[in-house]
């Protein structure tokens, strides 16, 4: 970590793998021999090989630990939320668990988790990240993707608070016949994305809730 007032050339900063937080511009001088910046804070890149005090090979070690944790969290969170979850909540859960397991041994950021998710999806271990038309970003916690009808239902439900819907509401909002709406809901129920809540004798309709789309953070 650099102290306030320490100075480095651009080349030295690149070697350290840090981020320039503040620059101080000097008055123009004729034919300057070098460029110098004032760094208020330099933060080594997580797992990088250039920062002071970072062991060689720490980047690869961090990647392995993070990938293993993401897969562990996928299994754990599927039990709690089903096969779908808001991306922000998933990332927050991973960061919190990583800190509990490793303390401040490593410096981990959101981008590190997103890169891990992308690589695991490329390997076919999880389906990966989806952005719905509503703007909600979700992660599918299984290798299988969704069909177009299932994605349409998720888009509609992601706009609701709480994220739940009846068969009649879905059919009316999308303009589908009831049989098509029911098939999509049943497919999501089978995939453990939706939970069926039976109606009551008092006339309350059956509904499907989507716990993974409920905002928690």
Whether 58 and 49 have beta carbons less than 8 Å apart is answered as yes
Q: Which of 3-7, 54-58, 156-160 has the lowest mean pLDDT?
A: 54-58
Q: Where are the domains of the chain?
A: 1-43, 59-131, 146-213
Query: What CA–CA distance (Å, rounded) separates 195 from 191?
Result: 10
Instruction: Tell me 33's DSSP state.
Output: S
Over 60: is that where the pLDDT of 14 sits?
no
Do 16 and 8 touch, CB atoms closer than 8 A? yes
Q: What is the pLDDT of residues 40-91, one digit of tens each?
A: 333 444 444 334 443 445 588 888 999 999 999 998 888 887 889 999 999 9
Q: Residue 179: CB partners within 8 Å, gap ≥ 6? A: none
Average pLDDT on 15-31 reads 42
What is the spatial distance between Cα 163 and Cα 152, in angstroms, rounded to a whole number? 14
Q: What is the pLDDT of residue 209?
A: 95
What is the pLDDT averaged over residues 124-153?
90
CA distances from 103 to 41, 43, 61, 91, 115 (A): 22, 17, 15, 17, 21
Asked whether 34 and 9 are in contact (CB, 8 A), the reply is yes
**197: DSSP letter:** E
- Angle of CA points 61, 74, 162, to nearest 5°: 135
Tell me the C-alpha to C-alpha distance, in Å, between residue 22 and each of 17, 40, 93, 184.
15, 6, 32, 53
Q: Which of 55-64, 115-124, 195-204 has the lowest mean pLDDT?
A: 55-64
Q: Is the peptide bond before 123 cis (omega within 30 degrees of 0)?
A: no
DSSP 3-state helix, strand, coil percentages of the chain (rounded to 5)? Answer: 45, 10, 45
Query: What is the CATH code of the structural domain delimited by 59-131?
Result: 1.10.10
Q: Over 90: is that where the pLDDT of 216 sits?
A: no
- Does the 146-213 domain belong in CATH 2.60.120.260? no
Q: What is the mean pLDDT of residues 148-155?
A: 94
Q: Going by DSSP bridges, is the β-strand pair 128-131/137-140 parallel, antiparallel, or unpaired? A: antiparallel
């Amino acid at each position: 970590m650099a102290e306030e007032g320490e100075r480095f050339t651009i080349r030295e900063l690149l070697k350290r793998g840090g981020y320039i937080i503040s620059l101080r511009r000097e008055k123009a001088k004729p034919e300057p021999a070098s460029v110098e910046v004032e760094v208020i804070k330099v933060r080594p890149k997580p797992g990088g090989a250039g920062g002071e005090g970072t062991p060689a090979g720490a980047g690869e070690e961090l990647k392995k630990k993070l990938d293993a944790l993401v897969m562990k969290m996928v299994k754990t969170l599927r039990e709690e939320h089903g096969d779908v979850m808001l991306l922000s909540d998933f990332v927050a859960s991973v960061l919190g668990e990583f800190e509990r397991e490793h303390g401040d041994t490593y410096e981990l950021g959101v981008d590190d988790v997103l890169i891990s998710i992308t690589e695991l999806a490329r390997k076919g271990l999880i389906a990966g990240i989806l952005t719905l038309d509503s703007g909600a970003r979700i992660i599918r916690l299984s290798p299988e993707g969704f069909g177009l009808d299932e994605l349409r239902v998720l888009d509609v439900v992601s706009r609701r608070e709480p994220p739940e819907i009846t068969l009649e509401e879905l059919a009316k909002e999308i303009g589908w016949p009831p049989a098509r709406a029911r098939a999509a809901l049943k497919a999501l129920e089978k995939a453990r994305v939706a939970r069926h809540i039976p109606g009551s004798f008092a006339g309350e309709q059956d509904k499907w809730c989507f716990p993974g789309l409920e905002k928690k953070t």
